[in-house]
Amino acid sequence: MPNDQNRSIKNISYLGKGFECSEMECAEFITNILAIHSHLEPSKPLIIILNSYGSYDVYGWMIYDLLHSIKREIKIYAIGCCCSMAMLILQCASKGQRHVSAHIYALIHDGKDSWNFKPRLLSRNKINDERKFEYYEHFNQEYNNVLIQKIHEKQPSLNLTDFEKEMKHDTYFSATELINYGLADKIWRELPI
């Protein structure tokens, strides 16, 4: 069971992994809370406080898909870390509602380059390895497409090929850089609690 780092108050949900739960348990807990909150006080925005180093792609996409199915305003406040799949989740906020703290630790990278991608592909079954590779390749490209689309909305003249090459490795951003690239909207000074 997730510890009290994952908690929910009224229309505010905190998304961050506790030390007492697996990634799967944490993702299931988060999606349950979001599903419940999506129906509570629908006239008010759903406020999410996001602090995450990211996660296994399946869990990130699970939360991303759920957030896209919610038919109400979503405000996301990223504090501390917003890395990897957490950056994808930040993009689910309603227009103009992607808030980052002034000292955010933000990271985008090609998931194939991560420390745990290659070991997952090693098995004795070559066909299974090829399917895994196709799966990771597909979702990695989807991840890149979401981020590049957001960047292109803000900076249509940006050379996207160069940016894609930059994303092949760990690429760190400050709060101001996230806003300039179109991956966040504002630096927040006060939480709406």
Q: What is the pLDDT of residue 123?
A: 56
Task: Map residue 119 onto helix, strand or coil.
Answer: helix
Give the pLDDT confidence score for residue 111 in this predicted structure: 62
What ranges do the domains of the chain cover? 8-187
The C-alpha atoms of residue 36 and residue 110 are separated, in whole angstroms, by 32
* Residues in the chain with pLDDT values less than 70: 1-23, 111-127, 193
Q: Is the pTM of this model over 0.85?
A: no
Task: Tell me how far apart the alpha carbons of residues 107 and 84 are, in angstroms, rounded to a whole number.
Answer: 6
pLDDT of residue 23: 67
Residue 2 confidence (pLDDT): 42
For residue 48, give both structure tokens. Answer: 């999410």
Under CATH, which architecture does the 8-187 domain have?
Alpha-Beta Complex (3.90)
d(CA 50, CA 99): 10
